[in-house]
Structure 1
C-alpha cells in the first residue's frame, strides 16, 4: 500500500477497469448537470463516500459527505456559483492504476446583460471508490483568476444595468 497526497491509500494494480471509471465519470458529469438544472446540490454530495475528502483551494478541506453537503449547497446557491451556467469537462484522462479521473472543468457565467462571455476553468482530480461513488475530489485552480473573472462579470452586468443585488453585496464583501 502507498500513501497518496490526498490522505487515502491504494493497493494500485488497476482495481477498476477503464470502462468502469469512464462510466463513473459519465455519471459524475450527469449528476452535476442535474444538480445545476434543479438547484439540488444534495445530488452532488451523494456522489461521495461517507468518509470522502474534498480539497478546495479557496474554501479549505472537507472531511466526509456531510461536511461536503452544506458547503456545496451554500456555494452553488450563492453568487458567483449560482450564476455559472454549466460545468462541462473540456478534457479528461483516466488513470486505471490509481482509479483516478483528472479533468479540466469549465465554469462559464451567464450573460451579464451585454452579451459578453465570462468564465474560468479548474482542474479536478477524482478518486474512485467503487459503486459509482468517489472517495476524494480536489479542485485545483487559481482563486485570484476566479475572483478577477467574477469582478469583470459584475462590472459588465453593472454597465448593462443588470447587476443583481447579491452580486453587489459580493463585490462589497470582496472589496471591489
Structure 2
C-alpha cells in the first residue's frame, strides 16, 4: 500500500499542461454541441477502443464499446430528444498521476417552470474520465442522482413541458431493449 507521503511525492505520469488542455478542449466541445443540438462530434474525443458507461438504477446499466458505438449510441441515440438541454460543468478535478479527471455538471433543460426557473435535475451529476493521450479519453463513466432525474422527468410530464423529441425518446425507451442497455452485470465491459 502506498502511503499518503509517497503519493504526494509520486512523479506525475501525465503532463499536467496536456491534461488541462484536454479539459479546456472537452469543455468547449460540449458547449459547441449544446449550441447545435448535435452531440456526435464528441466521439472524436475518444480513443478507438474507449468505453463509455453509466448505471441507471438497480436493474440496468449502459455501455458503449469503441468510438463507433460511442458516436452512434452514447452521444447519438442516447442524446436524441435532449436538444435544448445543457450540461454546464461546475468543476473539474484532475489527477496527473493516474490521468483521471472528474467533471461535475448540472443537467438543465431550456424549458421553464411556471415560476420561470429552468427545469433542472437536483443532486450532483458528473463524468469520471481516464485520459488516453493524444487529447482523447480512453474511458468514461457517468454518474447522476437517478431519483432526482426520475422526479424531474415526471414533473415535466405532469406539467406538459416535454419537447416532441423528449416524448419520442420516452416512447422509444418503452418499446423494448435498446442498443447499449444491459441488465446489471451483463455489459460487455464492467462499470468498474
Query: Which of the five TM-score ranges fits, normalised by the shorter chain?
Result: 0.7 to 0.9
Counterpart CA distance in 2 for 1:109 and 1:74 is: 18
Counterpart contact for 2:50–2:139, Cα < 8 Å: yes
C-alpha distance after superposition, 1:31-76 (max 9, x if no partner): 1111121233221111100000102212511111111111111222
Q: Please identify, of 46-55 and 144-153, the stretch whose mean Cα deviation from structure 2 is larger.
A: 144-153
The answer to whether structure 1 residue 111 and structure 2 residue 114 are counterparts is: no
SS of the equivalent of 1:60 reads strand
The answer to whether structure 1 residue 100 and structure 2 residue 103 are counterparts is: no
SS of the equivalent of 1:124 reads strand
TM-score (norm 2): 0.71
Counterpart contact for 1:151–1:171, Cα < 8 Å: no
Counterpart CA distance in 1 for 2:171 and 2:41 is: 31
CA RMSD of aligned residues (A): 2.4
- Change in CA separation of 1:127 and 1:155 when aligned onto 2, cut-off 3 Å: same
Point out which structure has higher relative CO (alpha carbons under 8 A, 6+ apart): 2
C-alpha distance after superposition, 1:96-130 (max 9, x if no partner): 11011112111111133632332124121111111
Counterpart CA distance in 2 for 1:66 and 1:173 is: 21
TM-score (norm 1): 0.77
Candidates 34, 37, 61, aligned match of 1:36: 34
SS of the equivalent of 1:82 reads coil
Unaligned runs of 5+ in 1: 1-11
The match for 2:70 is 68
Unaligned runs of 5+ in 2: 1-9, 175-192
> How many residue pairs are counted as aligned between the two chains?
157
